[in-house]
Structure 1
């Protein structure tokens, strides 16, 4: 067995839940199975600065934040200190479990991929300075073409090794509309085949439905596989492919089996940041403090009574 195959076996065991100690080590800092977080897309239409967002999110009662890189870059380019921003986050009690960016790490064109990795390097350097842990890695630039999965796994490993230099873990993100990484099976394959101990996936309730992934597929993954879950809901439609980003609603306001998903994750020892991510234009017209507070209330109602299984010897 060569080194790559051996590493792939380690990654597969971890993703499938065969190494619980490593899985717990990657968990978000929460006593229960879930940490409530806000993806800033939820209030993106209000065009707040990152400092305003931090204050608002902390007051709403979240413990986590998933910012977009352009928000952080605007703060830095306006003369703000990234180290000061990191301190502000810590003082507010907010953990940056993940962040959002769109560098082209998986495309077939070598020059575009090289530029994509350079962009990823800049993003990871920025995220390291504010104390972030992970960054989303969707198939940016390859949504209209099919990239072969073994080739994509090699490229994801390269991205992971780049992240090792900064202490930032890229997460293979599922985009349900994409021809590449459009479903959970493809994302899981790439994460496992990359053969890296920190490989993981970033699912999204809406995108799983949009791309035709069965939620039962989540039951095949172990705790290390999903450190962050984009939480949202969607209306009942005959054809899921007709849904778009703006159709997302608060969790519990649609037809997704969210409670069942969360109970399953908790019962199998997952510790996950539930990151509220909706692009609902109606919400963007509202007071962002109201939107953030509503999101907390909706998520708390869904996780009420769900607890992690007792550990042997505890």
Structure 2
């Protein structure tokens, strides 16, 4: 088993659930933390809640905020839109500080551009995050036209040259992109700030940039012994964040979905531990 493994529940896994119920489900299921999105805050704002009220709801929930997402798209946004997105990023950082969360995450979003544009934007984004004493984890999306592999993500992060900026790698996108083995080849634990995970169906949805066909771990075709073994070997010590958006899961009781995720994940971790002991 990965030493000191910490499990987080990503709110997209139970997307149709109001934020207070997301927090309650994560707490009842035994997760160490939650990963929330900017969207979770926006939905609360649209219901008339203030930022202070949302922050207090999370603070009083009994569950830690482990990772907080900002609004996507700043990688390739034109100047005016990028400035708006960076204002959102600043607010996201402020909220993270208020809640004791040290990790901000972002993905490329739906727009495209050049690697040089992404590098320049990442320098500015990482500086904003660093000014709040936080880390920035960047994710690749296997269905994006540009930022679709570990190597592409590495190029952007290396080009930005900011020590508080690292990778967020997702088992689903590794599987659909370069493959688990190729995507994690030579990756060092210190390069990865966050791991997300879910399983992938035998025939995944094609032509969808934000796939919602993800499955609980062990219900699809991902090689979990390989993935978890490589994660352990690299010395990773951060969160494993369970992100499995799927309408079939959204239709179920959120506490049941959350508990099932914990049970399945711990079973796979124990299986991997047993396999390692047998091979010694």
* 2-structure distance, mates of 1:171, 1:184: 13
Question: Counterparts in 2 of 1:250-265, with a 5 A limit?
Answer: 250-265=216-231
Superposition pairs for residues 38-187 of structure 1, below 5 Å? 38-45=9-16, 47-48=17-18, 50-75=19-44, 77-79=48-50, 80-81=52-53, 84-85=56-57, 87-89=59-61, 92=62, 94-107=63-76, 109-142=78-111, 145=112, 147-187=113-153
Deviations 1:171-196 (A, max 9, x none): 11111111121221101111122111
State the alpha-carbon separation in 2 of the partners of residues 84 and 281 from structure 1: 29
The residue number in structure 1 matching 2:202 is: 236
Match of 1:248 in 2: 214
Which of 168, 171, 180 is residue 205 of structure 1 equivalent to?
171
Which whole-Å CA distance do the structure 1 matches of 2:189 and 2:9 have between them?
21
Partner Cα separation in structure 2 for residue 141 and residue 33 of structure 1: 35
**Structure 1 unaligned runs (5+)?**
1-30, 308-314
- Please identify, of 174-183 and 66-75, the stretch whose mean Cα deviation from structure 2 is larger: 66-75
What's the CA shift for 1:264?
A: 1.4
For residues 43-82 of structure 1, the C-alpha deviation after alignment (integer angstroms, 9 at most, x for no partner) is: 112x32x222222211101002101223234446424535
Checking the alignment, whether the CA contact within 8 Å between 2:180 and 2:227 is kept in structure 1 is no
Deviation at 1:87, TM superposition (A): 3.2
CA–CA distance in structure 2, aligned partners of residues 202 and 121 of structure 1: 20
Q: Which runs of 5+ in 2 are unaligned?
A: 274-280
* 1:32 and 2:26 correspond: no
Question: 1:39: Cα distance to partner?
Answer: 0.2
TM-score with structure 1 setting the length: 0.77
Q: Name the SS of the counterpart of 1:247 in structure 2.
A: coil
More strand by share: 2
Q: Distance in 1 between matches of 2:258 and 2:150?
A: 28
Compared CA separation, residues 157 and 33, structure 1 to 2 (3 A): farther
8 Å contact 1:192–1:199 — kept in the other structure? no
2:235 is matched with: 269
The CA distance in 1 between the partners of 2:243 and 2:30, in whole Å, is 16
The whole-number CA distance in structure 2 between the counterparts of 1:218 and 1:117 is 30
Give 1:108 shift: 5.0
Offset at 1:37? 1.0
Shift of 1:262: 0.9
Tell me the matched-pair count: 268
Deviations 1:91-138 (A, max 9, x none): x2x332212332432115222222221221122222222222222221
* CA distance in 2 between partners of 1:136 and 1:121 (Å): 13
Deviation at 1:301, TM superposition (A): 0.8
Q: What secondary structure is seen at the aligned counterpart in 1 of 2:146? A: coil
- TM-score under structure 2 length normalisation: 0.86
